[in-house]
Chains A and B, each alone.
Chain A
């Protein structure tokens, strides 16, 4: 799954200082649970995103541990406070060691 895991995020472009903003994130990933069998009856090995973090200017917003019960294309929605202008960074950690990330700038007035 190292290739093709596409992250997408929705972050407002602007906010007032101290505002609460809502962030939504999605990443394309099949989240193979490790409990399914292939046509020959063999267990398909587990291969999931096991951790997701969101940070703003180096400070943490949320840190999520994912188990195989999280659906295909993991989706998260959560709220952040933005004290100043800066950049959100979003990071997804794959079982196979791959790390996917993306960033979004926000201007605080």
Chain B
């Protein structure tokens, strides 16, 4: 059971508005579509300090990742070069608590695509 995790205490303020601001900064306030970008993340993080995520947006020039429950929402930006075979990438990120991971792609035509995935960060469970 998660009977003694001292490190992660709930009650952090909501940082969602910071994320909205960061997204606006990336898109210049343009509307974002959906459906042409996918984000793969675990439903439950095995470890909030290293959560595997993958993004894929065919036709993207760049993809930027946010975590809306972290004190600083920005996570990473992938810019794809001429020898990039697919507009996809995987990495591992830190999530301070249960929250949404947000991926926004800037497409080659200048439009934007967005997708979110909720990741549960738990302090522990009990076993059978």
Known: A67-B75, A71-B92. A55 touches B81 (CB 8 A): yes
- Interface class of chain B by DSSP: strand
Q: Which residues of B contact A35 (CB under 8 A)?
A: 71-72
Q: Which residues of A contact B89 (CB under 8 A)?
A: 62, 64, 76-78
From residue 56 to 95 of chain A, which have CB atoms closer than 8 A to chain B?
A: 56, 59-72, 74-83
Against A, the Cβ 8 Å flags (1 = close, 0 = not) of B14-36 are 00000000000000000000000
Interface residue? A107 (CB, 8 A) = no
Against A, the Cβ 8 Å flags (1 = close, 0 = not) of B82-96 are 111110111111110
Bound form: Cα–Cα A33–B88 in Å: 25
Known: A67-B74, A72-B49. A33 touches B94 (CB 8 A): yes
From residue 62 to 111 of chain B, which have CB atoms closer than 8 A to chain A?
A: 67, 70-72, 74-86, 88-95
CB pair B85–A80 under 8 Å, yes or no, is: yes
Residue in B72, B82, B83, B90 whose CB lies within 8 Å of A76: B90
Interface size class, chain A:
20 to 34
- Interface class of chain A by DSSP: strand
Interface residue? A14 (CB, 8 A) = no
Q: Which residues of A contact B67 (CB under 8 A)?
A: 69
How many B residues face the partner with a CB closer than 8 A? 29
Known: A33-B94, A78-B90. A64 touches B79 (CB 8 A): yes
Residue in A21, A62, A71 whose CB lies within 8 Å of B81: A62
Closest approach, in angstroms, between the C-beta of B44 and any C-beta of chain A? 17
Q: Which residues of A contact B50 (CB under 8 A)?
A: 71-72
Q: Which residues of B contact A61 (CB under 8 A)?
A: 80-81, 83-84
Closest approach, in angstroms, between the C-beta of B68 and any C-beta of chain A? 11
Considering only CB atoms, which chain B residue lies closest to A82 in the complex?
B83
CB pair B81–A64 under 8 Å, yes or no, is: no
Known A-B contacts: A76-B90, A81-B85. Give 9 more (CB < 8 A). Answer: A35-B71, A60-B83, A61-B83, A69-B72, A69-B75, A70-B93, A74-B91, A78-B84, A80-B84
Chain A interface (Cβ < 8 Å from any Cβ of B): 20-21, 33, 35, 55-56, 59-72, 74-83
Chain B interface (Cβ < 8 Å from any Cβ of A): 49-51, 54, 67, 70-72, 74-86, 88-95
